[in-house]
Structure 1
Amino acid sequence: MPVIIKDYVWRQTATNIILQISLRGVSQNKVDIFTSPRIFFFEIILLHSIDTLKSKCTVTATDIIFELKKIKDDIWESLDTNISKSEKQELKKQLLDEEYLHIQEGDTKKSEKRAELKRVAVRQQIHLDTKIRENIEGIKKYEEKTALGDISKWSNKAASKTKITCKKVTNDTKKLTEDVQPVPLPRAVKILQIDFTPREFPTPSRESKLQEETEWLKKQAEARRCCSFVSEDIRPEEKNPQFLKAKGDEFFKNKDYLGAISAYSFGIKISEKFVDLYIARSAVHLTLGNFHKAVKDCTTALELLKPEVPINLKERALCIARRGEALCKLGYQKQGIEEIKFSLKLVPDTHFENVLEEAEKANE
């Protein structure tokens, strides 16, 4: 609660006001100061506005000295306003609200500036990495070309020397011809293609491990059958993304979540760019509490939903909102709330409005 002090000294010029207040034995470590364009200190409200950025405050052991910069160059009739107590309360409340809004705007601008600096830093790092990779590739190509050129020159030179030597020996004597050994040419280079037998395991096949591997594969097949979906049981004509999407939706509707995930995942293996499978699988992951996987599926779906056109607006809004809900569940309340708000601007949705309200309450 502020203490009313009437013992102060002030003087002014056309541009500044000097206000000196005695602490009267109060330690300078216990002094709290709040400023606004019309500063009030110990219930003193200035007559006109001041520039808080250009004003100064000095706290000494015995006094507080304010050097206040006027907004307009003028001589004030008095230091404070001559109004009633109720009017002062209303004016003080108004000044506090204005300063609070000003502080909020400043924090928002700082956050936006930090985010922009991060984006610029990431772009610069990507550009730098790309340039370094291009330089490395250029050096590799140059060295490869130089090495092949040296080999070609050496080969031609060796062949010409062999021909000259053979001619001289033939002209001299047959004995010398028998002693001459021609320089062999470099062996031809060829790339061998090696194909390996496909395996379920990353390790090489071993006869001693064949029984254990077969037993493990049987157990996995039984586990997949318990999940109501086995890819081996599907007919060849049914192995298409549309059928697997409908199959997964049926499992999801019957609350067979593992079967739904298996159907969607097998469909993604067949068609990696079928965006409906990622959207559907993210819903199942969100229901099971697999929030990291839900965020990953929504992000992949948003990448596939480019370019952003009106026909895929609802799908984009759903993915953004669902990713925001998953982020809120993971503890990233701020990022999740921003995602859901952005989604609701695109397409209003009652469910995500309720999710947003709960997230904002939890973030308070």
Structure 2
Amino acid sequence: MPVRVSEFSWQQTPAAVFLSLPLRGVCVRDADVFCGESYLKVNFPPFLFEVFLYAPIDDGNSKAKIGNDMILFTLYKKDPVMWETLSMPGVDKETMQRIREKSILQAQEKAKEATEAKATAKREDQRYALGVMMKIEEEERKKIEDMKENERKKATRELEDWKESQRQAEKQKSIPRKEKCQRGKQAEERGAPKPPSLPRKAPSAARLPQRGRNWENIFSEKLKEDSVPAPRSAGNIQISFTPRAFPTALRESQVAEEEEWLRKQAEARRALSTDLPEFSDLKEEEKNPDWLKEKGNKLFATENYLAAVDAYNLAIRLNSKIPLLYLNRAACHLKLRNLHKAIEDSSKACKIMKLHLRSTHPTQLYKTMRRRFGI
């Protein structure tokens, strides 16, 4: 039950009412103040204060100041008259409920109107901003069009000037020709003798046909044709590549490691055929630990954890020196909530990796771990 506050003090003028409400520990964050035309409410758990005002007030301009364990209200009256009391006298429960509902509806309507006004103002601002942007873009477009037009006019003017200069040059060249023709015509009319024509030069020895040299050239070309070998006959070349068990290219620095890995794989297969006769009905790829590891990874990705555990179990029985198999099986046990088995597999993987790190040279550590363990 809320504790109703009855201790307060108030003063008034013909235009406003000043109300002081003491509340211990009140703060802006926790206090809920509601003010309507005829209803004032303050909810600060566990305290509750409400009053049904004597006359309507201007709730839009009224103010509340919270601080120092006190709430100070400044309520502006709609009608400049003096009130006899702060609260409305003789108010029953039905009237109180009606006033509450009316005040809440009025507050909701005002909030709705304020939201609509804010949205309208925002739309107007957006429309204004859009108009300004369109105006700026139009000015920029017009500026660019003017620049293009000026450049076009400039280029046209320069072209016309160049054509005019060409015409002037042609005129200057044609004037001497016309004068020369006129002078020749005048000389013919006067009966002047024509200038003697130059005698033709005798053909030089260099231009005479040289039959002996031509025959020598033909003979040398014939010899060259005879010395050219015949075209090579078509055929097929057979190329055979050395088979490899690794997808990477052969490197001399890794030949020893690859041979060691192949030898261990052969020993594992021989051990499988002698020590594990119950696996004789498996396919060839199912006897490969790497294939089983990939199969377990796919089953783990599809959340089939029990089948993935079976695949890792078979791979570990084939080769118990791969720590990644124990780690993957530990992940499956962790998904199945088998915590003890997950811890056991993780410990085995850690032990195998420590032994391998001690026996491997640091320079070959990264290559060996990537090639053998798939990490």
TM-score range, shorter chain: 0.3 to 0.5
Between the two structures, name the one with larger relative contact order (CA 8 Å, sep ≥ 6): 2
Q: Please, what TM-score do these two structures have when normalized by structure 1?
A: 0.43
Q: Please, what TM-score do these two structures have when normalized by structure 2?
A: 0.42
For the pair shown, the structure with the greater C-alpha radius of gyration is 2
